[in-house]
Amino acid sequence: MAISIPVTRTTSPKAKYSDERSLGFGNVFTDHMFIANHDPERGWHDARIVPYGPLAIDPASPVLHYAAEIFEGMKAYRHPNDEIGLFRPEQNAARMNRSAERMCLPPIDVELQLAAIEALVDLERDWVPRSEGTSLYLRPTLIGDGSRLGVSTAQRHIYFIICSPSGMYYPNGIKPVRIHIEDQYVRTVRGGTGMAKTGGNYAASLLASTLAGKHGYDQVLWLDGRENRYIEEVGAMNTMFVIDGVLVTPALTGGILEGITRMSVLELAKGFGIPVEERLIPVEELFSAYEAGALTEAFGTGTAAIISPIGELNYKEKSIELGTEIGPVARRIYDALTGIQSGKLPDTRGWTRIVPRLATQ
């Protein structure tokens, strides 16, 4: 059954940007947003598209006091034939519901999530930038609303999706980043909320990344929160290493998020015949592999950058230098993945979902 989503169009469309390559990330928002409400009696209801604007929520809302929030991040790409493609959105929808379960928020039917995303992107298709490396970033978000300060599950919920055209992540070419391996603060712990895409994890990470930034590092690499020993994530990216020709990445032990870029990179690597290992990686292994000449590449993976090569890793007094250029494994995977996402290479795995043109146009 088709899900009907009424549209209220803006009466004052925004001026479009002039230089879409220098949009940056998350600075500009489109004309409309999707919104739906939830309460125990009606479940999810009133799905609609309205002009972009402020939400009305109760000041006692659990999202404001107890971080009752989860979100997703995904991109729509303009293909060479002008169709708009979404990259594996059903994976984002499934992950949204895994996050919802962990945070005691109501799941949203995957069909409703996909219908909402498609209807909104269809309406905003002129906002999908055209230049190479650009995209329309989508931010589906679920928050707890209500008027009660006791710590419990929320009385009401709001699901909304906003869209932000984003520029090239690498306007000056891919440049490896400098990473500080954090040995004092932790972001999440096994058994905590690391497997959920939830705002509180980011709140917990800000101090360490601000301090690392002051010391000239681009991001923090987190160690596990129990032993302060095993490699977890870099900022909002999963991490991968090439050790003795094997692509090694931390196993999903609960402390890290299951990235959709991560799963796609692993599938592509296997397709290339590159051996892949998902396992615990003690931080000292990186240093011994580096000293033995076996550690040849390190990179982060995530929707924003796709692949972000790591040029330097600092841990306490020691450092690993991996050069100033993207390595061959990262390059091969980056080209394959961005080629599929942008519609320039054939999508043999069925990862892309073309946004249909609906009657709302």
Residues that bind ligand PLP (CB under 6 A): 73, 197, 233, 236-238, 257, 259-262, 301-303
Cβ-based nearer residue to ligand PLP, 237 or 266: 237
- Rounded Cα gap, residues 96 and 106, in angstroms: 10
Q: How far apart are CA 275 and CA 273, in angstroms?
A: 6
Q: What is the DSSP letter of 106?
A: -
CB of 150 to ligand PLP, least distance (A): 29
Q: Which residue's CB is nearer to ligand PLP, number 236 or number 329? A: 236
Mention every residue, 6+ apart, whose C-beta is less than 8 A from residue 181. 220, 221, 223, 283, 313, 314, 315
| Strand pairing class (219-223; 177-181) | parallel
- Phi first, then psi: give them for residue 137, nearest 5 degrees: -85, 135
Helix axes 89-102, 110-123, angle to 10 degrees: 130
Question: Which of residues 209 and 289 has its CB atom nearest to ligand PLP in the complex?
Answer: 209
H or E element: which one contains 34? strand 32-39
CB closer to ligand PLP, 96 vs 123? 96
- For the CB of residue 252, give the shortest distance to ligand PLP in the complex, in Å: 11
State the minimum distance, in angstroms, from the CB of residue 40 to ligand PLP.
Answer: 29
CB 198, min distance to ligand PLP, A: 9
Q: Please provide the DSSP assignment of 238-261 as one string.
A: EEEEEETTEEEEE---SSS---HH
DSSP 117: H
Q: Nearest Cα to 124, choosing from 174, 67, 184, 84?
A: 84
- Which is nearer to ligand PLP, 30 or 239 (by Cβ)? 239
Nearer to ligand PLP, 146 or 199 (CB): 199
State in angstroms the smallest separation of the CB of 256 from ligand PLP: 7
Tell me the closest approach of the beta carbon of residue 18 to ligand PLP, in angstroms: 28
